Copies of this chain bind each other. A is one copy, B any other.
Amino acid sequence: MGLTPDLLMADMGARAGAAARLVAAAPTAVKAAAVQAMAAAIRANAADILAANARDMAAADGLSPAMQDRLLLTPARVEGIADAVAQVAALPDPVGETIREWRQPNGLQFRRVRVPLGVIGIIFESRPNVTADAGVLCLMAGNACILRGGSEAAESNRALHRCLAAGLAAAGLPADAIQLVPTTDRAMVGAMLGAAGLIDVIIPRGGKSLVARVQAEARVPVLAHLDGNNHVYVDGAANPEMARAVVLNAKLRRTGVCGAMETLLIDRAYPQTPALLAALLDAGCECRAEAALLPLDARLKPAVPEDWDTEYLDAICAVAQVDGVEGAIAHIEAHGSHHTDAIVSADEAVAQRFLAAVDSAILLWNASTQFADGGEFGFGAEIGIATGRLHARGPVALEGLTSYKTVVTGSGQVRPV
């Protein structure tokens, strides 16, 4: 590869642009056939994929156990990837959908129609399944994509990408529709971030340092996920059984996901605060509580001011008492990251006040914050959760990977001066 990163990216981007035009026009059945063939190829080549992953794992000594676990593929995980891919083939095709129609008094008819975004760049870290998930979601939404995985997963990504290429070929779609950056040279990330005019949007999937680099350097629009400093507010009118179930699930079902609760806010009027805290502590959660709560349980640790702003992604949570829903709203306004926040209350007026006043991408009433997920929203899959305010907010799936155009039909209308 004698090309510089910028020249290599210019070549990949031009080929992706040409492929995007073909994929944008591909009928749903052709895209679905390609995705089904990809799932079949992943199943048929499971041994190759596992062997490639074993080579990555052999070189992964320096990675943390958590990173190694993210990198590791097992027969069950490969089957899970194939399953997830096959499910995307069955999702409704957003391309061509009429979003809105209207008419003007001069007789012009307007129709807003969903179209693909174009060329999507995905920059991701250790999880090899992103290669497959991102590739098929972009394709089903009519886009071409350029995938840049982490160097630690290079062999696994290549093996999975070969299966995607086989699926494209089987359906007669261009190989350039799903490209994997062929080198792990970090300068390729910079080349992608600077590829304005070639890449329509960059989606980073990974840790904070990756997302921060992408947001700082990108000359291409970015759809990104930032912090999930999420709250559950237990109102004085909450059903205690429900509050206990929602809080335990929100914090502990999985502690490392972006929808996990990080701070528990309890109404000063809630009668069962000690039992709620005991349930969390009994389940093994470290609770960092404000001073007034500490006498309630000897296992509580004192919170310091930073705790209100911390995304632990661990079995730790901050706990504060607030004065009713207005206190909860004020705390979330001061410390929240506008990702996902929940209220538990049997009082509808209180709940509606919370849902109206808190401006987060996802708001839940009497349900766990761990539902912050495209699959749980009924989107079938997701390419990530967007925490920005433009284009898409919350779980991003097929619809979030589209744009629109407006088709105006007339009968010879000209615009008056």
Q: Is A361 an interface residue (CB 8 A)?
A: yes
A196 to B314, CA, bound (A): 29
Q: Is A74 an interface residue (CB 8 A)?
A: no
Rounded to whole Å, the gap between the CB of A157 and the closest CB of chain B is: 26
Residue contact A389 to B403, C-beta cutoff 8 Å: yes
Instruction: List the B residue with the shortest CB-CB distance to A217.
Output: B219
Give the residues from 360 to 401 in chain A that come closer than 8 angstroms, CB to CB, to chain B.
360-368, 370-371, 373, 376-378, 388-391, 393-394
Instruction: List the B residue with the shortest CB-CB distance to A250.
Output: B414
The verdict on A394 contacting B405 (CB below 8 Å), with A249-B414, A367-B412 known, is yes
Q: Is A242 an interface residue (CB 8 A)?
A: yes
Query: In the complex, which of the residues A110, A223, A364, A410 has the most CB atoms of chain B within 10 Å of its own CB atom?
Result: A410
Rounded to whole Å, the gap between the CB of A114 and the closest CB of chain B is: 11
Q: Is A154 an interface residue (CB 8 A)?
A: no
Give the residues from 37 to 89 in chain A that come closer than 8 angstroms, CB to CB, to chain B.
none
Q: Is A24 an interface residue (CB 8 A)?
A: yes
Q: Is A115 an interface residue (CB 8 A)?
A: yes
Residue contact A376 to B406, C-beta cutoff 8 Å: no
The verdict on A406 contacting B377 (CB below 8 Å), with A239-B412, A412-B242 known, is yes
Residue contact B393 to A403, C-beta cutoff 8 Å: yes
Copy number in the complex reads: 2
Q: Is A407 an interface residue (CB 8 A)?
A: yes
Q: Is A201 an interface residue (CB 8 A)?
A: yes
- Which of B196, B333, B368, B393 lies in contact with A415, CB distance below 8 A? B368
Residue contact A393 to B405, C-beta cutoff 8 Å: yes
- Which of B21, B102, B390, B417 lies in contact with A391, CB distance below 8 A? B390
Residue contact B21 to A408, C-beta cutoff 8 Å: no
Residue contact A415 to B376, C-beta cutoff 8 Å: yes
Instruction: List the B residue with the shortest CB-CB distance to A354.
Output: B407
A24 to B359, CA, bound (A): 10
Q: Is A204 an interface residue (CB 8 A)?
A: no
Query: In the complex, which of the residues A115, A359, A367 has the most CB atoms of chain B within 10 Å of its own CB atom?
Result: A367
Q: Is A245 an interface residue (CB 8 A)?
A: yes
Residue contact B393 to A360, C-beta cutoff 8 Å: no
A410 to B242, CA, bound (A): 11
Residue contact B115 to A417, C-beta cutoff 8 Å: no
| Residues of B with C-beta under 8 A to A393 | 403-406
Instruction: List the B residue with the shortest CB-CB distance to A408.
Output: B364
A152 to B357, CA, bound (A): 41
Q: Is A411 an interface residue (CB 8 A)?
A: yes
Residue contact B409 to A362, C-beta cutoff 8 Å: no
Instruction: List the B residue with the shortest CB-CB distance to A413.
Output: B367
Residue contact A365 to B417, C-beta cutoff 8 Å: no
- Which of B118, B241, B404, B410 lies in contact with A366, CB distance below 8 A? B410
Residue contact A410 to B365, C-beta cutoff 8 Å: yes
Residue contact B104 to A415, C-beta cutoff 8 Å: no
Residue contact A389 to B102, C-beta cutoff 8 Å: no
Instruction: List the B residue with the shortest CB-CB distance to A257.
Output: B415
The verdict on A409 contacting B367 (CB below 8 Å), with A253-B417, A415-B253 known, is yes
Q: Is A200 an interface residue (CB 8 A)?
A: yes
The verdict on A245 contacting B414 (CB below 8 Å), with A355-B407, A405-B394 known, is yes
Residue contact A219 to B216, C-beta cutoff 8 Å: yes
| Residues of B with C-beta under 8 A to A249 | 414-415
- Which of B24, B362, B404, B408 lies in contact with A405, CB distance below 8 A? B362
- Which of B108, B196, B356, B363 lies in contact with A406, CB distance below 8 A? B363
With A96-B356, A377-B406 already in contact, 5 other A-B pairs whose C-beta atoms are closer than 8 Å: A25-B356, A110-B377, A201-B389, A363-B405, A364-B408
